[in-house]
Each structure stands twice: as C-alpha cells, then as structure tokens.
C-alpha cells in the first residue's frame, strides 16, 4: 500500500518502472528503495534464516540485516537502503549465500 491509498489523495511522483522479484514484476517509483517497493506490493518475507524462519523488514533504515536480498547476482544487499531501479533482478538470499554486504567482486 502506498501513501496515496492511505491519504486518499494523489501524490506527485515520477513515472513508474518495474524490477523483478523472484521472477515477478514489481512496480516502483523514483526514489523508492527495493524494500519500499516490495512492501508496497504486499511482499513481506524476503528471506529465511538457515533454521527456516522468515525474515523481512525490521528497522527499515539500514541498521539491521533482516532485509538481505540478492541484487543482480550480488548476495547480501540490504533492500531497505538499496535504490530500486528499472530492470533489476532481485531474489531471496539463498541459504549459505553469504558475502560481505554488497560485495560485487
């Protein structure tokens, strides 16, 4: 749910674009984080712990590591502080795919 739905007022924003989450298209707007777009689309669970427990948004400001996702093949990116962009391929972090945060090497 986005702010205009809560306020029942239009919000001025740029043109929407899409990125992929687990093979499904998600709509985002300029300035949104990956997490913001996912939550607005109703997606709450982003990964599971090695023990199988669901994880999603906790702090939403980059202090914790509960929103780790894989972005364009790079594991362990924090979805809350990674800007959404057209054409990104975003996936759940798979068990045992841990890397230094955002390590693209």
Q: Which CATH number goes with the domain that contains 25?
A: 3.10.20.440
CA pair distance 65, 22, nearest whole angstrom? 19
For residue 96, give every residue at least 6 positions away whose Cβ sits within 8 Å of its Cβ, in sequence order, or none: 50
Query: 34 is in which domain, residue-wise?
Result: 16-92
Question: Does residue 99 form part of some domain?
Answer: no
Question: Does residue 30 form part of some domain?
Answer: yes
pLDDT of residue 102 exceeding 70, the answer is no
Question: Does residue 20 form part of some domain?
Answer: yes
- For 15-73, the pLDDT digits (tens) are 999 999 999 999 999 999 999 999 999 999 998 877 888 888 899 888 988 899 999 99
For the record, the structure tokens of 71 come out as 């972005």
Question: Does residue 58 form part of some domain?
Answer: yes
Burial of 75 (0-12, 13-18, 19+ CB in 10 A): buried
Which pTM value belongs to this model? 0.81
Q: What is the CA radius of gyration of the chain?
A: 14
What confidence score (pLDDT) does residue 91 get? Answer: 96
pLDDT of residue 94 exceeding 80, the answer is no
The pLDDT confidence band at residue 105, using thresholds 50, 70 and 90, is very low
pLDDT of residue 95 exceeding 70, the answer is no
Question: Does residue 36 form part of some domain?
Answer: yes
Question: Does residue 65 form part of some domain?
Answer: yes
What confidence score (pLDDT) does residue 65 get? Answer: 87
What confidence score (pLDDT) does residue 103 get? Answer: 55
Burial of 6 (0-12, 13-18, 19+ CB in 10 A): exposed
What's the domain count of the chain? 1
- Strand runs labelled E in 2-105: 17-21, 24-28, 45-48, 54-56, 68-71, 74-78, 89-92
């Amino acid at each position: 749910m986005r702010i205009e739905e809560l306020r029942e007022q239009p919000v001025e924003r740029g043109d929407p674009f899409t990125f992929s989450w687990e093979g499904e298209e998600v709509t985002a707007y300029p300035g949104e984080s990956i997490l913001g777009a996912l939550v607005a689309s109703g997606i709450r669970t982003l990964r599971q712990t090695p023990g199988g427990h669901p994880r999603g948004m906790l702090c939403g400001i980059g202090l914790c590591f509960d929103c780790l996702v894989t972005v364009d093949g790079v594991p362990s990116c924090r979805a809350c502080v990674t800007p959404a962009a057209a054409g990104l391929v975003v996936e759940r972090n798979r068990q045992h795919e841990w890397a230094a945060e955002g390590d693209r090497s």
